[in-house]
Amino acid sequence: MESFISTGLISSEWSSVFAVGIGGAIGFVLESSGFSSSRKVAGSFYGYDFTSLRVFLMAGITSLIGLLYMDFFGWIDFFSFNIPDTYIWPTILGSVFMGVGFVASGFCPGTSILSAAIGKLDGWIFIGSTIVGILVFTLLFPLLEPLYNAGNLGALTINDVLGVSPYVYAFIVTLIVIALFYLATLIRRRKTSVKY
């Protein structure tokens, strides 16, 4: 996609400054929302605290609707994004690994950085073991390569598969997200709150 940086409007020397600035804003917002606490994040899976789910889905629909509006105003071209190829089998396998890893540790790479930043040793341990995991994958890559490249369906988008326009898709997703927010409120009311 064309952007300020790729068009040269912002010179490449400045791109790292913008990267630090955007990262800083993300880190501040996520820490202030409670993502530095693995117990708070894990709460979404046990019904005692749905903060992480709410922040996450709210950010998702805000950026989706926002991008469609930015395209409508002509600021960006929504349809020129590079769509990554969908490798169905490794995606499912890897995501199952991540789902188990998420609950076992209470972290994803992003939240472990927030935890580590405010001095939590559990965050640092997670970062270390994730790096070891990536290293193991990289070293075993010759063995894993056939699986890694299995089931390439090409550059598909979800709205193509469903046969609807991105606008209809965004509308459906927004309705689902609102339903999930409401469902979270119902479940939360039935569980006793956990002090942490």
Q: 107 and 38 in contact (C-beta within 8 Å)? A: yes
Q: Which residues 146-175 are close enough to bind other proteins by CB under 8 A?
A: 147-148, 153, 155-161, 166, 169
Q: Which phi and psi (to 5°) does residue 162 adopt?
A: -80, -15
Q: Which phi and psi (to 5°) does residue 87 adopt?
A: -100, 100
Q: Which phi and psi (to 5°) does residue 152 adopt?
A: -75, 115
To other proteins, the closest distance from the beta carbon of 6 in angstroms equals: 6
Is residue 72 involved in binding other proteins (CB under 8 A)? no
Residues 125 and 119: their CA atoms lie apart, in Å, by: 11
Is residue 188 involved in binding other proteins (CB under 8 A)? no
Q: 39 and 52 in contact (C-beta within 8 Å)? A: no
User: Given candidates 61, 71, 171, 188, which one binds other proteins under the rule CB under 8 A?
Assistant: 61
5 contacts: CB under 8 Å, gap ≥ 6? 12, 15, 18
Residues 108 and 28: their CA atoms lie apart, in Å, by: 17
Is residue 142 involved in binding other proteins (CB under 8 A)? yes
Q: Binding string, 6-35, against other proteins, x = CB under 8 A?
A: x---x----xx-xxxxxxxxxxxxxxxxx-
User: Given candidates 11, 73, 74, 138, which one binds other proteins under the rule CB under 8 A?
Assistant: 138
Is residue 71 involved in binding other proteins (CB under 8 A)? no
To other proteins, the closest distance from the beta carbon of 46 in angstroms equals: 5
Is residue 130 involved in binding other proteins (CB under 8 A)? yes
- Residue 70 tokens, joined: 């930015």
User: Given candidates 72, 95, 172, 175, which one binds other proteins under the rule CB under 8 A?
Assistant: 95
User: Given candidates 71, 129, 171, 188, which one binds other proteins under the rule CB under 8 A?
Assistant: 129
Supply the DSSP symbol for 125. H
Residues 108 and 97: their CA atoms lie apart, in Å, by: 12
To other proteins, the closest distance from the beta carbon of 189 in angstroms equals: 16
To other proteins, the closest distance from the beta carbon of 103 in angstroms equals: 4
Is residue 60 involved in binding other proteins (CB under 8 A)? yes
